């Protein structure tokens, strides 16, 4: 911890200093603390995205109920994704179903157009894929799944960023977990 230094008088005296082992020990402690902080921040971001998806699904479900109250049917479409089989939220059945849901709940098929019918849902711009035919996006940037035959309450879900069938237990859904 000490070094020898030569002063003005020519005598050797000890100057305070750190050894290499002490410096390495401090660097290891700082590295461990940084790793814990980054890991914790990642978990907080993930929890925030899940909470946001749950709130958005509940809002879409409520908007679908308002739509049903006025029209006596839920928004339906021909290409409905099957939550048990079609698990890729980038697939055409997801985006087709999402486009139909967007058009019915938003009142138009474009984000910046005035509604042609009653507007049941007002999304944030970050919740809409506005390139081409718009559809609702989950916090991970994928299309929300939507499935309804028009008579039963719709199923709305987010794959929570998962793109394979083995991870369906992580999905965020409008139906209760079994």
Quick: pLDDT tens for 60-79: 999 999 999 999 999 887 55
Q: Say what the pLDDT of residue 3 is.
A: 55
d(CA 52, CA 49): 5
Quick: pLDDT tens for 2-41: 555 555 665 666 777 888 898 999 999 999 998 888 878 8
Q: From the DSSP assignment, how many helices (H) and strands (E) are in the chain?
A: 2, 7
pTM: 0.73
Q: Report which of 18, 51, 54, 17 is spatially closest to residue 144, judged by C-alpha positions.
A: 54
Q: Say what the pLDDT of residue 163 is.
A: 73
d(CA 151, CA 100): 16
d(CA 7, CA 15): 10
Query: Across residues 39-67, what is the average pLDDT?
Result: 90
d(CA 125, CA 4): 66
Ranges 74-78, 106-110, 161-165, 169-173: which has the least confidence: 161-165
Query: Across residues 118-123, what is the average pLDDT?
Result: 90
């Amino acid at each position: 911890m000490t070094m020898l230094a030569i002063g003005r008088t020519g005598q050797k005296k000890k100057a305070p200093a750190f050894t290499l082992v002490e410096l390495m020990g401090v660097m290891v402690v700082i590295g461990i603390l940084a790793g814990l902080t980054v890991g914790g921040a990642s978990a907080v971001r993930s929890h925030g995205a899940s909470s946001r998806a749950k709130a958005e699904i509940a809002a879409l479900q409520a908007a679908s109920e308002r739509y049903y109250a006025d029209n006596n049917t839920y928004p339906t479409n021909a290409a409905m994704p099957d939550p048990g089989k079609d698990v890729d939220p980038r697939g055409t059945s997801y985006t087709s179903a999402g486009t139909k849901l967007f058009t019915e709940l938003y009142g138009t098929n474009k984000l910046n157009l005035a509604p042609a019918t009653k507007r049941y849902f007002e999304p944030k711009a970050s919740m809409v894929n506005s390139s081409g035919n718009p559809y609702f996006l989950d916090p991970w940037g994928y299309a929300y799944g939507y499935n309804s035959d028009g008579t039963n309450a719709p199923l709305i879900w987010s794959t929570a960023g998962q793109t394979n069938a083995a991870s369906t237990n992580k999905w965020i859904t409008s139906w209760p977990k079994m």
